[in-house]
Structure 1
Amino acid sequence: MHLPMAEDSGHIELDGDVIRYASTTYSDWMIRVEDLRIIGEATNQNGPFADDYFLCFATGPSMWYEASFYADGRDTFLADLGARLGITFQLGLSLSTDFASRILWPAELENEPMFKFQDVPSKTVVGRLLGSMRNEQTYCDRVLDALQK
């Protein structure tokens, strides 16, 4: 299991009506709770050398924010945000070592995939021989439909 240092993975908190994420490795961001449309979790193949598990916050059809699952303050944040939304978050991808995603909120989309992952073919001969080295992450169709309403 991958357990990075908390300072590498950042810090997340619910500060009144705002979710704040700060990290020296990943982008800092803040979003208002009222702007949340979908909350999910996603994993990738980066472990054990880099963070491979993320909390994902969709605000619209063209934007989502990610915070490392390993961020300092995660448990308190999830409890506080869950209380605010009237739910208890049930994380379920902690054993995943591949590309996977799952919606945590809202209830009508819970447990459905949040993202689809597609290998991007290499444009070089060597790259084609070695296989795809990049993966593209986009919203699943159902999520995109929900966000466009």
Structure 2
Amino acid sequence: MGFLTDILSRTLFRSTFRGIDCLLEDVRAGNPIPKTEPDPKSGALSINGSTLVYASPDYGSWQILISEIAAFGEYTTENGPMIDDWFMVFVTNDFNWVEASNYCSGCDGVRDQLAKHWGAEGLCGSLALSTNFSSRAIWPVTIAGKPLFTFIERHQSTWDKVGSFGVGLIDKDLTPEVRQSLQPIEAK
């Protein structure tokens, strides 16, 4: 890890752990846990009729028809804890995808509504505490639990890495196994 990222990581983790320690002290003392509101930068996710709608000042806005969703999953990055690092992924029938922060407002309600719509027991993710680049398919059941993405580090010059404080750029693509599983039956 580079010198600057090492210093930055230590500073961020100290403040994060200090916050966790205070929260644990409150729990031990029997104080109620304060309810936190989603950060507006994480955006808002909702269902409007048959359309899934997401809007975020940091992560962009999109809308897709629920009928176009072929798969649902999640992925995490190494970018937390100061910025969102856990995302929901909606893969469309044409193997493109849109994503929404798992910290956005409305995400729990949308997951519940989509679970009912797809007849799934639940659509909860399990990567919440991951601090690495990781992914997992959640729906449909045929691919549930399998990696959704492959992550590939993009080549950068030394100067590009210095300019980004040692943080490399990562590209992602659907795994071949997921692509194969989602192909229409007549194409197989």
1:135 aligns to what? 170
Q: Is the 8 A contact 2:142 2:181 kept in 1?
A: no
Higher relative contact order (CA 8 A, sep 6+): 1
1:93 corresponding residue in structure 2: 127
The aligned residue for residue 33 of structure 2 is: none
Equivalents in 2 of 1:7, 1:137: separation in Å?
Answer: 26
Q: Secondary structure at the match of 2:60?
A: coil
Distance in 1 between residues matched to 2:37 and 2:155, nearest whole Å: 30
Partner of 1:107: 141
Selected match of 1:68 from 80, 98, 101? 101
1:46 corresponding residue in structure 2: 79
Contact kept? 1:58, 1:64, Cα under 8 Å: yes
Taking the aligned partners of 1:141 and 1:16, their CA distance within structure 2 comes to 33
Listed as ranges, the gaps of 5+ residues in structure 2 are 1-15, 17-35
CA drift of 1:80 comes to 0.9
Distance (whole Å) between structure 2 residues aligned to residue 126 and residue 10 of structure 1: 29
Moved over 6 A (4+): none
- Percent identical among aligned pairs is 31
Return the offset for 1:14: 1.6
Counterpart of 1:72, as a letter, is S
Which of the pair is proportionally richer in strand? Answer: 1
Q: Distance in 1 between matches of 2:159 and 2:110?
A: 46
Distance 2:62 2:41 in 1: 15
Deviations 1:17-67 (A, max 9, x none): 111101111110011111001100000011012110000001145511000
SS of the residue corresponding to residue 147 of structure 2 reads coil
* Structure 1 residue identity aligned to 2:179: L
State the partner residue of 1:28.
61
CA RMSD of aligned residues (A): 2.3
After TM superposition, the score normalised by the length of structure 1 is 0.88
